[in-house]
Amino acid sequence: MKELGIDVVLVMGHDRLFQQLLKTCSSDLVDNKVTVVKLPRSGGVVNRDPGVRSLQRSRRIKHYFYSSTLPQDTQPSGAVEGEKGKDNTIPPPLPLSPCPIDLKLSQVKLWAFVGGGRTSSVELDGLLPVTGESTIDPCALERIEPTTALLHTLMAVYHAPEEDSEEDELKFVQEGTIAGFVVVQEISVDRQSMTVLAPCPGRLPSVHLVSGGVKWME
């Protein structure tokens, strides 16, 4: 809020978040005055169950790697008129062609959120009183060892750092930008190798791969 100069925050249907923001905005951590407003949630709003959210997330991950195409019997909505006897319709989008990339475990650095991403900050806060505050940082990262538990894990790939320094690795991963995502298709500790599915061929932008605890299988 300080860096973006936010002066008004709207909170809908979340009492705990409202109390936390009131406490944060009234502290010395925020220089500018921030107004926190609590809004009622409409009675017609329905929370999506975990099954629906998981299905939609899986579809979006598949769309990221393979894109999507229109059915053959579906007329594209972008048809244009042209000369008589010529087909001037806009063709449907072509599917993407992701490719597997083999990596040596000695050449990659694997990271994960503390707790493995299995418990969200909302779930942690749900175990506390309304005015309570969790001491667990959901954004904290730690280095992890390659194991078969990473199979089918969606991992973020970071852009290459300007300077490769062991001391600044954690800071780079915490503050760096993500270039894209890969999925671990195969991992062998014995052969010290792993195969990831990438949306395009070529070398990965960097050796830093971060797991958020999301699994995806085709």
> Which tens digit of pLDDT belongs to each residue from 150-159?
999 999 999 8
User: Is 179 found in the same domain as 107?
Assistant: yes
Mean pLDDT of 176-193: 94
Domain carrying residue 13: 8-39
Residue 80 lies in a domain: no
Report the pLDDT value the prediction gives residue 218, as an integer from 0 to 100. Answer: 80
* pLDDT number for residue 78: 47
More confident position, 5 or 60: 60
**Does a structural domain hold residue 161?**
yes
Q: What is the C-alpha separation between 130 and 151, in angstroms, rounded?
A: 38
Q: Is residue 48 part of a domain?
A: no
**CA-to-CA distance for 171 and 116, rounded, in angstroms?**
19
pLDDT of residue 97: 86
Q: Is residue 91 part of a domain?
A: no
Whether 104 and 185 map to the same domain: the answer is yes
On whether both 106 and 175 belong to a single domain, the answer is yes
* pLDDT, mean over the chain: 79
pLDDT of the residue at 209: 95
Q: Is 211 found in the same domain as 104?
A: yes
Place of tokens 């900050």: 121
Q: Do both 25 and 105 map to the same domain?
A: no
Query: Does residue 190 have a pLDDT over 50?
Result: yes
Judge if 211 and 105 occupy the same domain. Answer: yes
The total domain count for the chain is 2
Residue 172 identity (one-letter amino acid): F
Same domain, 12 and 112: no
